[in-house]
Chains A and B, each alone.
Chain A
């Protein structure tokens, strides 16, 4: 196990989230090095979300070993896991799973207030640059249900970024976005990969699950697919472009 590995999965059977004994993906061998941007592509329902949730330690694996930042995953309820999760940002699909009883700004500030015991004023001051960069200031005091889905997803991203994570996992971030939001997200992801000012200009390690490869081809540096319960590492951009795998071509939207 090398020092610069952020995620390591060896022989991992990804458990079925619906309780079935049959794993969603039979065997995942995957190593994500620091600074890489992985794109995990698969059709809807293929299990790509479950794979990245397992990698982030949000779901237990049926079999095999998952290591984050070189360490095996600690007990889910312990303080060690809580500390580990502060180094990981997870952006959920859809409207970002914001907490409906908190305002947008309160949602974003929650990890800082919980872990670093900041007051509302302190967290607000600290998060102002992030809110501005994400154009969320005007929604700060609104309930998540009062803002559009695309803005809610952006707020979910801001919440995941609040604690300045080293590893960012995003589940289908570009799904169903209008051209303006799509452009913003592509710009943000490119910046994240090359070094976002919020993260001190350091390139983050990024994993993006998607059901469409093409919009992320220019952003990802490494690619993998989940298809029919099988995990397949494709390699770099050139390997994806050169792949004659029908599943890959379909995810590249070349059958339409």
Chain B
């Protein structure tokens, strides 16, 4: 039988793609294993050591959530003007103002707000957390916790995942509110014939009751996945100083991919509403 010869460049691209795919598969398996261990710890140790764990969780919620309120408010206002204001103006111009509510619910509430909140959290706190955890691992703090009989997953991972989950969900709510209000303010300032009650009435009509739990679930998943990937990259292996930068870059890429995958899973659900 004649053998088929592929051009060498094609072969090398296929080989590299295969290696990359295998590496991605291995990373995904380890990440899933890490997530299952963390979920197991979260469930089995829920409520354990409240004197230590509650302040840790509060600190993470403050660090990831409260401290980012100003930047998320700023983004909410500016993106509200840029996106919502312009959208409303264009819809008015083309006479499609009746679609305002539906468009804003789909674009701003369901898609833009969770992604912006997730990305801000990732950029402002996530990358720093990877470095912090990698340093803790390199300095032997994980072994120090184990020596004290303290589960490092419980002490280091659970508060961060809880903090990221709560933060992304609440920051999304801030963003939505400010984007919609600033968008209306922009349209009002431009003298568009749009009443406040009409504008928010359209949005309320376009929203279904399922949007609220779905938004809460989606943003919580964004936060949980981001927190989990950050903890995995920071703790799963002992990093040398020169490897921390690459781990941080990997974390950002994996978090973005993770959030977009979750986003894609929600599309068919939203289409059914």
> CB within 8 Å of B: which residues of A?
53, 56, 58, 76-77, 81-86, 88, 90, 92, 97-99, 110-111, 113-115, 117-120, 159-160, 163
Contact = CB atoms under 8 A, between A and B. Distances in A.
Determine which residue in B41, B139, B147, B153 has the highest number of CB atoms from chain A within 10 A of its CB, and name it.
Answer: B147
Contacts of A56: 147
Given A113-B51, A114-B52, A118-B51, A83 B149 contact: yes
Contact of B139 (A77, A81, A84, A97): A97
B147 to A, nearest CB: 4
B201 interface: no
A77 B147 contact: no
B148 interface: yes
Contact of B149 (A82, A118, A120): A82
Nearest to B152: A77
Closest 6 CB pairs of A and B: A85-B149, A97-B144, A90-B147, A82-B149, A111-B148, A114-B49
B242 interface: no
A156 to B, nearest CB: 8
Contacts of A77: 37, 41, 151, 153
Given A97-B139, A97-B140, A97-B144, A117 B149 contact: no
B143 A114 contact: no
B150 A111 contact: yes
B51 A92 contact: no
B146 interface: yes
A71 to B, nearest CB: 15
14 contacts: A77-B153, A81-B149, A85-B147, A86-B149, A92-B140, A92-B144, A97-B139, A98-B144, A110-B52, A113-B51, A114-B51, A114-B52, A117-B49, A119-B51
A53 B142 CA distance: 13
A120 B49 CA distance: 13
Given A113-B52, A114-B52, A82 B151 contact: yes
A97 B143 contact: yes
Nearest to A76: B146
Nearest to B151: A77
A85 B143 CA distance: 12
Contacts of B37: 77
Contacts of B41: 77
A85 B146 contact: yes
Given A92-B140, A97-B140, A97-B141, A160 B147 contact: yes
Nearest to B50: A117
Given A77-B41, A110-B52, A117-B50, 8 more contacts: A58-B146, A76-B146, A77-B153, A97-B144, A113-B51, A114-B149, A115-B149, A159-B148
Determine which residue in A98, A115, A160 has the highest number of CB atoms from chain B within 10 A of its CB, and name it.
Answer: A115
Nearest to A86: B149
Given A97-B139, A119-B51, A114 B144 contact: no
Contacts of A76: 146
Nearest to B56: A101
B194 to A, nearest CB: 50
A76 B49 CA distance: 19
Nearest to A95: B139
A172 to B, nearest CB: 14
Contacts of B153: 77
Determine which residue in B41, B140, B151 has the highest number of CB atoms from chain A within 10 A of its CB, and name it.
Answer: B151
Contact of A114 (B146, B147, B148): B148
B266 to A, nearest CB: 33
A200 to B, nearest CB: 20
A58 B147 contact: yes
B237 to A, nearest CB: 10
A90 B148 CA distance: 8
Interface in B23-53: 37, 41, 49-52
